[in-house]
């Protein structure tokens, strides 16, 4: 079993108005086999957490730690983090003109594993994964994400997830822009990867609809760069009914204060 541990993480960015703190002391522990859902309103810091774990250079860690099986993730380059077993499904996947899907997938797999996959087995695995994700076979010869719809880009992200087999998958609003059918297909892909029992999942979302298909073990509510409440799947059901407004009230402020006190205890 592997463990991804985040302790008292503070992260800032540089803006035209100066330095702005986004994450204000986030602590979270994920083990392989677990699914953690992070929910919260826009601008609460959810995507900042995902990008920081992946190593985006815009985000400056001012204090706190991220470790993977005891190894300091913050000392690793982006490619070293990928080889160590971290995978980010991006909220807005980018197009890569001039690079075919076939070349991209095999090159990335080779870089992650340190050796090229056996061609016959690899080709079979790619075709099978594409069929399950309902990606047309012609897409293998197209440039990565070039001219793809939003839903097609998200399916390609999950295609990578299934083929690369990371220890931990961070899914940054993978459900955004998906219709019901695409949401089911993408969720089934995540569940297949998770079913092997060797992957932990950090699922970032605004809404509960994806949690109908990907069942979380733990739910964490993010507000203003902090985890303000934690619970099981029932917490997501309550959020669907009540929304996030109560966390902006006096009661919400008290919850944040209590959470901070508990973290320091």
Q: Which of 61-75, 109-123, 193-207 shows the lowest per-residue confidence on average (mean pLDDT)?
A: 193-207
pLDDT at 263 exceeding the cut of 90: no
| pTM, entire model | 0.89
Token pair recorded at residue 203: 């699922």
193 neighbors 161 (Cβ within 8 angstroms): yes
| pLDDT, position 249 | 56
pLDDT one-digit tens code per residue, 145-190: 999 999 999 999 999 999 999 999 999 999 988 889 999 999 999 9
Q: Rounded to 5 degrees, what are φ and ψ at 219?
A: -125, 130
pLDDT one-digit tens code per residue, 11-53: 999 988 899 999 999 999 999 999 999 999 888 899 999 999 9
| pLDDT, position 217 | 95
Q: What is the mean pLDDT of the chain?
A: 90
Question: Hey, how many other C-beta atoms are within 10 angstroms of the C-beta on 63?
Answer: 11
- Checking DSSP bridges between strand 218-223 and strand 226-231, what pairing results, if any? antiparallel
6 neighbors 26 (Cβ within 8 angstroms): yes
């Amino acid at each position: 079993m592997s463990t991804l541990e985040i302790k008292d993480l503070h992260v800032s960015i540089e803006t035209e108005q100066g330095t702005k703190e986004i994450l204000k002391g986030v602590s979270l522990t994920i083990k392989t086999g677990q699914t953690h859902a992070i929910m919260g309103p826009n601008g609460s810091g959810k995507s900042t957490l995902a990008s920081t774990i992946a190593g985006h250079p815009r985000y400056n860690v001012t204090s706190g730690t991220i470790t993977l099986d005891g190894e300091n993730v913050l000392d690793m380059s982006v490619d070293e983090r990928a080889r160590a077993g971290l995978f980010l499904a991006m909220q807005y996947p980018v197009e890569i003109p001039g690079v075919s899907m076939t070349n991209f997938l095999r090159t990335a797999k080779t870089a992650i594993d340190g050796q090229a996959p056996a061609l016959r087995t690899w080709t079979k695995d790619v075709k099978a994964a594409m069929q399950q994700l309902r990606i047309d076979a012609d897409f293998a010869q197209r440039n990565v994400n070039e001219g793809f719809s939003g839903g097609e880009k998200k399916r390609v992200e999950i295609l990578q997830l299934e083929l690369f087999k990371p220890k931990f998958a961070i899914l940054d609003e993978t459900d955004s822009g998906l219709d019901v059918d695409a949401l089911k297909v993408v969720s089934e892909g995540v569940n297949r990867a998770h079913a092997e029992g060797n992957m932990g999942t950090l699922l970032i979302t605004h809404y509960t609809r994806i949690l109908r298909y990907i069942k979380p073990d733990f739910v964490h509510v993010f507000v203003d760069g902090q985890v303000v409440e934690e619970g099981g799947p029932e917490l997501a059901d309550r959020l669907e009914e009540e929304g996030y407004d109560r966390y902006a009230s006096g009661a919400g402020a008290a919850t944040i204060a209590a959470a901070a006190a508990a973290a320091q205890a």
